Amino acid sequence: MKLAAWVLLPALLHYAVFSPGASRNLPPRPPPPAVVNVGAIFTFNSTIGRAAKVAINAAVQDVNSDPSMLGATRLVVKMQDSSCSGFLGIVKALQFVETDVVAIIGPQCSVIAHSILHVANELQIPMLSFSATDPTLSSREHSFFVRTTQSDLFQMQAVAELVDYYGWKQVIAIFTDDDYGRNGVSALGQKLDERRCRISFKAALRPGATRSDISDLLLKVAMMEARVVVLHSQDAGAAIFSAAHYLGMMGNGYVWIATDWLSSRLDTYGPLDSDAMDSIQGVLTLRQHSPDSQRKRELFSRWRSLVEEQGGYGGLNSYGLNAYDTVWMVARAIDAFLRDGGTVSFSGDPKLNASDRGPLRFQSMTIFDGGGRLLEEILKVNFTGVAGPLRFNADGDLLRPAYDVINVVGSGYRRIGFWSNFSGLSLEAPGSLTWRKPNGSSSLSQRLSSVIWPGETTEKPRGWVFPNRGTELRIGVPDRVSFREFVTRSPGTGIIKGFCIDVFTAAVNLLPYAVPYKFVLVGDGLENPSYSELASKVASGVLDAAVGDIAIVTNRTRIVDFTLPYIESGLVILVPMKKFKSNAWAFLHPFTLGMWGVTGAFFVVVGAVIWILEHRINDEFRGPLKKQITTIIWFSFSTLFFAHRESTMSLLGRVVLLIWLFVVLIVQSSYTASLTSMLTVRQLSSPIKGIDSLLSDDGPIGFQIGSFAENYLVEQLGVARSRLKALGSPDEYARELDLGPEKGGVAAVVDERPYVELFLSTKCQFSIIGSEFTKGGWGFVFPQDSPLAMDMSTAILTLSENGDLQRIHDKWLVRSACAGKRTDLDSDRLHLISFWGLFILCGFTCLLALAIFLALRLRDLIQQPRSDSAAPGGDSRPRGYLSFVHRKEQGGEPERCFPAEGPSRHGVT
């Protein structure tokens, strides 16, 4: 019965599914539409529009001629000219929605996109733009917006990496003051900030600016310090280059980087006439990268015939490739939509019907019922078009954005490299570098081919110049009253000179350009000025720079930029020195109490060990008890002078003695050297031995007026401000240190090493104690992001490498007054820790020798005849062992230390 049921089950299922009655219960699938309408909005008479119009028509022809695409349905693209007008763009979009379009290709301009995307969202019509690059256009805000080109966010990242690659820090941005220009430059500023670069001046042009407006703006740009100009203006770009060429701003020293509008213009209208090409010589520009492929080559080969068929003119640019691929993307999505059972139907919008109270016929605007499903199919499209792979990420952007880097030269241009968000700047095409991680490229691996810059030079422009204002740089110099070797003003002539001045002058002379400047003294001439206030004047613009012995510290680097340090500097502790005061017990001073105690104990211990090891076989270590004690003491202490008379006969005794004599040699030599040093070398008269003892002590601390040492001691080390005493000159240093804290002076002076070393070159009775507890240096001060700071740093490195910096140092700071009269040796007492290893070695040797000795004696005791141990009056086992050990060996056989009849009358023998 069960077998029959299993046999009949497939037949029943087949009948239930395929029977005529079952078929009548399923809803019939609607036939595919004969025509699917798609709208296209762009500016026909524009650089992008000329190529897009031909490309869209060509794509429609290719789609309709492909039997595998859309089946019996025919794709129709209706084009409208927006003339790049926001108002006309809205009107054309409203006209489209009255004709039941399922998608809109466009708009071309970002300005129009912001306006008509609200219409697309409301009526659920996907809008695919092949040229709106405004980075603020986002699918998160406008859910029915799909960008089939690259966002300017990536293009500005490429520009920022170009600026950083060539080492420029400031750029000037010229742009049209609309959504496209403002938002693109805003993205550029963001990407430059990530690389510690910035836009120093934003030159905005109103839409429709005249030649006069452009010239006035460029004159302002010419007055700026930066010479790197980023041009982001589709409409006025050509006019700006023409005016810049006329004003002489396309020559040596300038850098012009144009966004991809220029490459599109060159591809569409090239070759340009000679005047237009002359105005853009040496310019760098970007072009959306499209990998070479068979489909791309075929489209380029038939482009001329396509243009002639449609009565247009112009070449194929990257936006034309995007437009061609966009049509195919829409066709593929519609094909998948129809195959999945989607229907092209429209319904009225209740919101529009409710507001239909006037002459405008809102009821004709309908919602595309399948708009959401078609949008999903568009976002799922994954194919390779003529512009490259088309696939979207989670943010709605095309994956793997990439650009060609182009240098305009002669009558054309040449590609000098590539940029992509996964490989950075590279000489290799992005397609061969897909294995790298996004943004994982190192600045060290970035490479581009050589560039011919404006002015027909291959030397990289500096990227900035001094503003053409006819004024000199105001260089602030501290008016010092002490340590004048660093900075000083001649009383008679008023000339400012010194070590710091000579370094600055030598560095300026190495710069490849002239720097007009004049020194401005800062201070009242009565005491050293505050260097933090000097840095603040540079930050506020009162001074253009500052030169002097200015330490590079954290709170100053927050407001100004420093050059690389031209001299090392760090805080050190200065203390007085004195001769060691000799007395009757001076010979005990080299060793500490612990060292004396351990050394004396080891003399006794080693003597006792030698006695034990030699007592059985050496007559010199036998005899009455009093004699043996005297022998132990005499033998051990006589080894100090290597004058011991007793000889050792056992191997273990000789090993112990050898190790002990080595220890004695080291200890004796160290004692002699330490005592000699104490009696001949100056010693520290201060209890301060370093930064730790300085902080734990409560004595006054001196510091130089104007130095950062005061704030550092208080804020970083927690020293009470009441302990600090301001000192103004080297003579005050010497006087206060000589007085000491007991007489109202200071216990130590904390100052920077260059000052202290100069002070010690003539003051031999003082010394540096410990090591530097801060690390730093002195540098020249410039405003933040000043390119002169970088050039001066390079010059300082050159001075250091060619030896000029050392020669300037020797000229001003080397003195020989104390040569041979002082030493930096700090002779401390010898502590036990310095010899601990030797004593451990000696102690271990003694214990090991005793253990071996006792083990051997125990073996001899066990192996001796039983009769010896069983003799009348024999000892117990422990006493017997000690008695055996105490025996003297004769002829290889031990004898009893005590005769059988009793002990000797002389005592122990």
In the predicted model, is pLDDT for residue 326 greater than 50?
yes
Say which CATH topology domain 152-291+401-426 has. Answer: Rossmann fold (3.40.50)
Fold annotation for 473-566? D-Maltodextrin-Binding Protein; domain 2 (3.40.190)
Q: Tell me, what's the pLDDT at 647?
A: 67
- pLDDT mean over 285-314: 91
CA distance 173 to 257: 10
Task: Report which of 196, 214, 197, 215 is spatially closest to residue 205, judged by C-alpha positions.
Answer: 214
For residue 399, give every residue at least 6 positions away whose Cβ sits within 8 Å of its Cβ, in sequence order, or none: 389, 391, 392, 393
SS3 23: helix
pLDDT interval class at 899 (50, 70, 90):
very low
Which residues, listed in sequence order, are joined to residue 417 by a DSSP beta bridge? 405
3-state secondary structure of 811: helix
Band the pLDDT of 91: cuts 50, 70, 90: confident
**Cα(500)–Cα(368) distance, rounded to whole angstroms?**
77
Q: Which residue's structure tokens are 């055996």?
A: 884
Rama region for 865: left / alpha / beta (φ>0; ψ in -120 to 50; rest): beta
Rounded Cα distance, 641 and 570, in Å: 48
Query: CA quadruple 169, 174, 178, 180: dihedral positive or negative?
Result: negative
| Contacting residues for 671 by C-beta, under 8 A, at least 6 apart | 590, 591, 830
Dump the DSSP string for 606-638.
HHHHHHHHHTTT-GGG-S-HHHHHHHHHHHHHH
Phi/psi at 599 (nearest 5 deg)?
-65, -45
| Beta partners for residue 781, in sequence order | 546, 562
Q: Is the pLDDT of residue 316 over 60?
A: yes
Instruction: Give CA–CA dist 117/104, Å, rounded.
Output: 10
Exposed (0-12), middle (13-18) or buried (19+): which is 233, by Cβ within 10 Å? buried
If one counts every other C-beta atom within 10 angstroms of the C-beta of residue 273, the result is 9
Residue 263 is classified by DSSP as H
Q: What is the mean pLDDT of the chain?
A: 82
CB-based contact 645:638 (threshold 8 Å): yes
| Cβ atoms of 854 and 885 closer than 8 Å | yes
Query: What is the pLDDT at residue 11?
Result: 41
User: In sequence order, what DSSP letters do the residues of 661-700 get, joined into one string?
Assistant: HHHHHHHHHHHHHHHHHHHHS-EE-SS--SHHHHHH--S-
For residues 94-113, one letter each, b for 16 or more C-beta atoms within 10 angstroms of the residue's C-beta and e for the rest, the string is bebbeebbbbbbbbbbbbbb
Which tens digits make up the pLDDT trace of 765-775?
888 888 888 88
Contact call for residues 181 and 175 (beta carbons, < 8 A): yes
Q: What crossing angle do the helices spanning 499-510 and 804-813 adopt, rounded to 10°?
A: 160
Residue 324 CB-density burial (10 A; 0-12 exposed, 13-18 middle, 19+ buried): buried
pLDDT of residue 864: 67
Of 4-18, 347-361, 553-567, 700-714, give the lowest mean pLDDT range. Answer: 4-18
Side chain identity, residue 72:
A
Residue with tokens 């199919």: 377
* Burial of 847 per CB tally in 10 Å (0-12, 13-18, 19+): exposed
Q: How far is CA 385 from CA 53, 390, 396, 633, in A?
A: 17, 7, 18, 104
pLDDT digits (tens, 9 = 90+) for 817-831: 565 454 443 445 667
Distance, in Å, from the CA atom of 645 to the CA atom of 31, rounded to the nearest integer, reads: 127
Locate 767 and state its tokens.
């010394």
| Residue 745, C-beta contacts closer than 8 angstroms, at least 6 positions apart | 700, 735, 736, 737, 738, 739
Hey, is 103 helix, strand or coil?
Answer: coil
Query: Which residue in 243, 889, 294 sits closest to 619, CA to CA?
Result: 889
Asked whether this chain's domains 35-149+292-390 and 473-566 adopt the same fold, the reply is no
- Whether 25 has a pLDDT exceeding 60, the answer reads no
Fold of 685-775: D-Maltodextrin-Binding Protein; domain 2 (3.40.190)
Indicate if the pLDDT at residue 668 is higher than 80.
no
Are 550 and 534 in contact, with CB atoms under 8 Å apart?
yes
Q: Show Cβ contacts of residue 217 under 8 Å, excluding neighbours closer than 6 positions.
A: 174, 203, 205, 209
Beta bridge partners of 144: none
pTM: 0.67
pLDDT category of residue 865 using cuts at 50, 70 and 90: low
Computed over its alpha carbons, how large is the radius of gyration of the chain? 47
Integer angstrom CA distances of residue 341 from 30, 371, 380, 544:
8, 14, 17, 73
pLDDT at 163: 95
Q: What percent of the chain has pLDDT over 70?
A: 80
Q: Read off the pLDDT band of 886 (50, 70, 90).
A: low
pLDDT score for 767: 86
Contact present, 45 and 96 (Cβ < 8 Å): no
pLDDT tens-digit profile of 386-413? 999 898 887 788 888 999 999 999 989 9
Please state the domain extents for the chain: 35-149+292-390, 152-291+401-426, 473-566, 586-680, 685-775
**Are the C-beta atoms of 296 and 32 separated by less than 8 Å?**
no
40 phi, psi to nearest 5 deg = -145, 125
Strands 766-769 and 776-778, how do they pair? unpaired
- Which pair of tokens denotes residue 231? 């041009």
Task: Give the angle 81-86-92 at the CA atoms, nearest 5°.
Answer: 40
In sequence order, what DSSP letters do the residues of 573-589 get, joined into one string? EEEEEE-----TTGGGT
Pairs from 596-604 (Cβ < 8 Å, separation ≥ 24) = 598/832, 598/839, 599/667, 602/660, 602/663, 602/839, 602/842, 602/843, 603/636, 603/637, 603/639, 603/640, 604/632, 604/633, 604/636
Instruction: Please name which of 350, 374, 371 lies closest in space to residue 362, comparing C-alpha atoms.
Output: 350
Q: H/E element holding 734?
A: helix 730-739
Q: In this structure, what token pair is assigned to residue 150?
A: 């690259």
pLDDT band at residue 513, thresholds of 50, 70 and 90? Answer: confident
For residue 450, the number of C-alpha atoms closer than 13 Å in the C-beta half-sphere is: 5
Reported confidence tier of residue 8, pLDDT bands at 50, 70, 90: very low
Q: Which CATH architecture has domain 35-149+292-390?
A: 3-Layer(aba) Sandwich (3.40)
- CB 286, CB 419: distance < 8 Å: yes
Question: What pLDDT is attached to residue 166?
Answer: 93
SS3 at position 258: strand
What is the C-alpha separation between 543 and 538, in angstroms, rounded? 5
